Every structure is written in C-alpha cells, then in structure tokens.
Structure 1
Amino acid sequence: MSAQDAPPIGEARTTAIPGASAAASEGLTSYRVLYITWRVLLYAVLTLVGATMLLPLLWMISTSLKEPGEVLLLPPKWISIPPQWGNYPRLFDVLPFDLFLINSIKIAVFATVGALLSCSMAAFAFARMRFPGKNVIFAIILATIMIPFHVTLIPLFKLYRDIGWLSTHLPLTVPFFFGTAFGIFLMRQFYLTIPQEMVEAARIDGCSFIQIYYRIFLPLSKPGLATLGIFTFLGSWNNLMGPLIFLTKVETMTITLGLTLLTNQSGGRWELIQAGAVISILPIVVMFFIGQEHFIQGIARTGIKG
C-alpha cells in the first residue's frame, strides 16, 4: 500500500457488513412491536381491575334509584326505568339525615383543624428542635399506634362519663387538639425533607423557632398538611365505633350512625340504605378531588408507600 492509499491519521477504516443495517432495523421493529403489545396488555389489565373496583360503587348508585321490588331481582337489573329519584327525599322523611350530615361535617372539620394545628407543631419540634429525651418521647408516641382503640375504650368511656361529655361531640373532637401519633409521624417525615440550611439562615437573620414554623415550614408544607387533613377528615367521617359508644341521642348522631339506625328501622329497604350511602360518600369524593394534587405530593414526599 502506498502512502497515498493509507487512511489519514486518526481515522479508522470501516468496512460495511452486508445485511447488518437490515438486521438492526428488523430488531428495532420487533422491539417496538413487543413494547407496544406489552403496554396494550398492561393498560387492558389495569382497565379491567379499575372497572372491577368500580362495580360496587356503580351497583350502590344503581340500587339507590330502584323501586323496592327491583333490588333483589335475578338476573339483576342495573338500570331502573324510570329512575326513582324520589328515594333521596324519602330518605330525609324516614330519619333526619340533614341533621346527621351537619353533625358529621362539624365533627370532621373540628377534628381536622385540631389535628393540623397540634400535629404540625409537635412534628416541627421533633424534626428541628433539640431537647432532652426527644427521641425517647417520639418513640413512645409511635408505640401508641400499636395500641388498639378497643383497649382504651372502657377507660375513655368512664372518663368522658365522669366529666359529662357523653352524648356530646366533645369526645370526638377535643382529643385531636392534643395530636395523633400518625399525624405527628407524617408531618415529621415531611419536615425532614425541608433543607436544614433554610433553618440556619433564618436563625442567623434573628428568627425564633415560632417564626421559622409559621413563616417557612407552614408555607412549604401544604402538601403534607393536605395529606394529613384528608386522612383525618376521612377517618373522622367514617368513624362508627366512637359515635356508637359516646353518642346516645338522635340529635347528636353522625351519618355513619344514622346509616346503622336506618338499617335497623327501614325493614330491609335497601334502596333507601344505598341512597344514604351515596349521600355519605359525596363529601369525601369532593374533598379528594379538590385536594388530590397536594395529597399525591404529600404521600410522595413523606415516604409513605401503599
């Protein structure tokens, strides 16, 4: 080979392999077909699972719009023609469900406000402040999560009876103003994601811990507060054991206790029972759709996994 035929310095000699380009293109096409097929199957399975989970909800709504003789038909009748919208106002004639809704909303709102205030402050102390026995106290608080509610039910009943709180909403709201173990843990995990440098900069500027709490941590913790608020509101709204034990007067009952009372008094009127169930879930659905963005962010940042 002469010097003129030699390749320039730094350039590699390449030799085309016959069929290599066609084989690579065929392999890429096969991969794309396999990937698309896998995604289609995955979405089909997820759609099927989602539809299966929606069936009870759809059946509940369908039953609430049926006549009494159509509820237990075989084969089942999904849609009543015409829909019996009168089941909903008839429900309020049987029992004062409007009062039950007001009681449930009042209890859930007060419980949520109390939990947000107390848990956010306690969590800030455990996350950013230093004091003797902090880790021990936090461990004791977490240990209370393992204590079943039924273990403390009788002592709480005797306590509330002695101080005159039975048949009032105080046993269902006041304890939340002293914090909950889950709420403190949730907010503490969220506060730990906030950089320590922000706290140190605020301390250099002369801010106290109270100022750091409401000027820095509260504005940054909206997703965590939304998550805790939804959990607390949902738990208070669906609570049956507490109202069943502490509330004995009809005018103080909640929506869950009202549904139980309706089941016992309606004589198997399933269309009315399901209409009450539909009404009971509407505030929860509305609240979740309003705060779902912050709720999902809060779950992701606090490290809670399903």
Structure 2
Amino acid sequence: MSETMTLVAPERQGRRTSIDPAARPGGAGRGRRTAARIVLYVVLVVAAAAMLTPFFWMVMSSLKEANAVFSVPIRWIPEMFVWENYVDIWTRSDILTWIRNTLVLSVTVTALQVLTGSFAAYGFSRIRFPGRDALFLLYVGTIAVPWQSYMIPQFILLSNAQVANTLWSIILLQAFGAFGVFLMKQFYETVPEDLSEAARLDGLSEYGIWRRIMLPLSVPAIASLSLLTFVNTWNDYLGPLIYLRDPSLWTMQLGLKNFVSSLYDVDYGVLFAGLTISVVPIAIVFLLGQRYFVEGIATSGMKG
C-alpha cells in the first residue's frame, strides 16, 4: 500500500504543476480583455493623430515662407521658421478689431442662448400646460429647417428694424436656439421632481426654483451648451457676410477672407498665421471646459 501511494503522489503532483495558466478560471478572459484594450488604445491613438494632423500642418505652415506652404513633396517641418508671419498679420491687417468683434458676438450670444435656452427648457420640463408636448416638438422641429430657406425674409425684417449692418443683427439672430432648449430639457428631466415639489412647499416660485435649484445642478449641461454655442458663433461666416458690411464690424472669419481677397499675391504663410490665431480662443475654451462638456453630453441623453 505504501509503495502504491508513493507512486501515485508524484504523478498527481506533476499534474498539478503542469496546469496551463491560460486554462485557469478567468485567465483566458483576462487575456482577451487585455488584447481588446490594447487594440482600442491603438485605434484611439491613430484616430487622434488623424484628427490632429491638419492642425499640425496649419501651425507649421504659419511658420513657412509663402512658396513653401504647398511644396511637393510636403515639408512637414519648415527648413527655417518664419516668425515674421505673425508680425505681418498684426501689422498688415486689422486683426485686433476682428478678434474684438468676434469675441463680443461669441460671448454675448453664448450668454443669451444659455439664459433663454435654460429658462424655456425649465418651462417645457416642469410646467404643465395644454399643448406643451406638441409645442415642444414643433419648436425642436425647427432644427431641421435650413437657415437658407428663411434668411431672406429674416434679412428684410431686420433691415426694416434698422439693425442691419450692426452687431445687434447677429445677436438677435442667434439669441434663441432650439438645440439649447432640447439639450437643457433633456438634462432637467434627469433631476428628480421631488426637489421641485419640496421647493414649492417651502414657498419658492417657479423662477426661484429655476435660479436656485435647477441652474446650479445643470452646470455640465450649461458648459456643453456654452462650448457648442461659442464655437458655432466664433466660426460663423455666412451671418456676418450678409449683415456686416462695415469693415469696422467684420468678424475673424470675414476679415481673413477679405484680407486674402485684397492681396495681389497671396502670402499663405501670413494667412495661416491668422488662421492659427483664430483657433487659439476655441482651443482654450475647449480645454477649460472639456470635462463638463463630456459629462453634460453624456447625462443629457439620460432620463430617470
């Protein structure tokens, strides 16, 4: 009996030591998850590089000579950095006025859209009145209507109101937005109704509930709406092209376009320097609010 046990024991021990780690419970699953994560990171890095390549080329082109911007083959890094392009765009154009006008429009329109959008969204999400849902669907449906289909009667209306060729025309055009109402309403519906009911029992008016409860809780949604509105207003070209004829009212996009048109021989290095300057404010705003932007977009599509 003892000889048999001594023969079987080493054999069992050998079996235990020869187990493949991948065959252990959860071992193969962890390996697949690790491989999937590596593939995901590689895809994200490639996608990020593809999206950043045009911006890198733009910045490098702003530091090249005029004839070297579109050279074949492409020179990604300039042989000599021409920093004078940034000096020329400041001295040869009225870029400071363009930046000031664009900044005034972007900040004003963003503040008004956040104010009107959040206030209207509170009414659609918390106030019950006949035809509320139908009115909301009708209002949100205007997002699908292209602006080109009604910009002529809109221009006639603002011209008769004596606000054409002023910054007020752009401000009045974009002070209200259906997308902002939709975004804020979706976020408000994630806030429990019990908070509003408790506030009403404490004597708060609907305006007080909106200002003291809903607005502080909706910081991510407000940041998302602010970022999207700021970027759209800053990059707007068609609106200023139609309404702003005075050169002292030109925005960044309109000013750069007219600056290029006024040159007999386009200096693309100077042009790309102006384009790089125009991107800087948007990049700063996005970097400061990206955390709230992602959170607001993620939570605005949730209910309950």
Q: Same fold (TM over 0.5)?
A: yes
SS of the equivalent of 2:236 reads coil
Match of 1:27 in 2: 23
SS of the equivalent of 1:121 reads helix
Provide Cα deviations, 1:220-249, integer angstroms capped at 9, x if missing partner.
111111111111111111111100101111
Structure 1 letter corresponding to 2:23: G
Sequence identity of aligned pairs in percent? 35
Residue 126 of structure 1 deviates from its aligned partner by 0.5
Structure 2 letter corresponding to 1:26: A
Q: Distance in 1 between matches of 2:193 and 2:17?
A: 55
The correspondence for 1:248, drawn from 245, 250, 260, is 245
Q: Distance in 2 between matches of 1:71 and 1:97?
A: 22
Q: RMSD value over aligned CA atoms? A: 2.0
Does 2:225 correspond to 1:222?
A: no
Residue 34 of structure 1 deviates from its aligned partner by 4.2
Provide Cα deviations, 1:155-207, integer angstroms capped at 9, x if missing partner.
11111211211211111112444x21111111000100000011111111111
Query: Could you tell me the TM-score, scaled by structure 1's length?
Result: 0.88
Match of 1:168 in 2: 166
Provide Cα deviations, 1:231-284, integer angstroms capped at 9, x if missing partner.
111111111110010111110000011121123223332111111111111111
Q: Distance in 2 between matches of 1:212 and 1:168?
A: 36
Residue 131 of structure 1 deviates from its aligned partner by 1.6
Go from structure 1 to structure 2 and tell me whether the alpha carbon gap of 1:118 and 1:32 turns closer, same or farther (over 3 Å shift).
closer
Go from structure 1 to structure 2 and tell me whether the alpha carbon gap of 1:131 and 1:23 turns closer, same or farther (over 3 Å shift).
same
Match of 2:231 in 1: 234
Structure 2 letter corresponding to 1:67: E
Residue 89 of structure 1 deviates from its aligned partner by 1.6
Match of 1:40 in 2: 38
Q: Distance in 1 between matches of 2:291 and 2:241?
A: 34
Go from structure 1 to structure 2 and tell me whether the alpha carbon gap of 1:250 and 1:206 turns closer, same or farther (over 3 Å shift).
same
Residue 36 of structure 1 deviates from its aligned partner by 3.1
Match of 1:8 in 2: none
Structure 2 letter corresponding to 1:277: L
Q: Distance in 1 between matches of 2:112 and 2:120?
A: 12
Q: Distance in 2 between matches of 1:32 and 1:145?
A: 46
Moved more, 52-61 or 67-76: 67-76
Go from structure 1 to structure 2 and tell me whether the alpha carbon gap of 1:216 and 1:35 turns closer, same or farther (over 3 Å shift).
closer
Residue 146 of structure 1 deviates from its aligned partner by 1.2
Report if aligned partners of 1:65, 1:271 keep a CA contact under 8 Å in 2. yes
SS of the equivalent of 1:171 reads helix
Moved more, 24-33 or 55-64: 24-33
Aligned length: 288
Match of 2:9 in 1: none
Q: Distance in 1 between matches of 2:189 and 2:17?
A: 53
The correspondence for 2:147, drawn from 142, 146, 149, is 149
Provide Cα deviations, 1:278-301, integer angstroms capped at 9, x if missing partner.
111111110011111111111011
Residue 38 of structure 1 deviates from its aligned partner by 3.4
Go from structure 1 to structure 2 and tell me whether the alpha carbon gap of 1:17 and 1:108 turns closer, same or farther (over 3 Å shift).
same
Q: Distance in 2 between matches of 1:149 and 1:129?
A: 30
Does 2:186 correspond to 1:189?
A: yes
Query: Could you tell me the TM-score, scaled by structure 2's length?
Result: 0.89
Does 2:203 correspond to 1:202?
A: no
Moved more, 162-171 or 71-80: 71-80
The runs of 5 or more residues in structure 1 that have no matched partner are 1-15
Structure 2 letter corresponding to 1:231: L
Residue 93 of structure 1 deviates from its aligned partner by 2.3
Go from structure 1 to structure 2 and tell me whether the alpha carbon gap of 1:150 and 1:44 turns closer, same or farther (over 3 Å shift).
same
Residue 137 of structure 1 deviates from its aligned partner by 1.3
Match of 1:287 in 2: 285
Match of 2:125 in 1: 127
Structure 2 letter corresponding to 1:250: P
Structure 2 letter corresponding to 1:211: G
Matching of residues 46-125 of structure 1 within 5 Å: 46-125=44-123
Go from structure 1 to structure 2 and tell me whether the alpha carbon gap of 1:249 and 1:30 turns closer, same or farther (over 3 Å shift).
same
Q: Distance in 2 between matches of 1:124 and 1:273?
A: 45
Structure 1 letter corresponding to 2:48: G
Go from structure 1 to structure 2 and tell me whether the alpha carbon gap of 1:158 and 1:134 turns closer, same or farther (over 3 Å shift).
same
Structure 1 letter corresponding to 2:132: K
Moved more, 195-204 or 47-56: 47-56
Does 2:261 correspond to 1:264?
A: yes
Residue 94 of structure 1 deviates from its aligned partner by 2.4
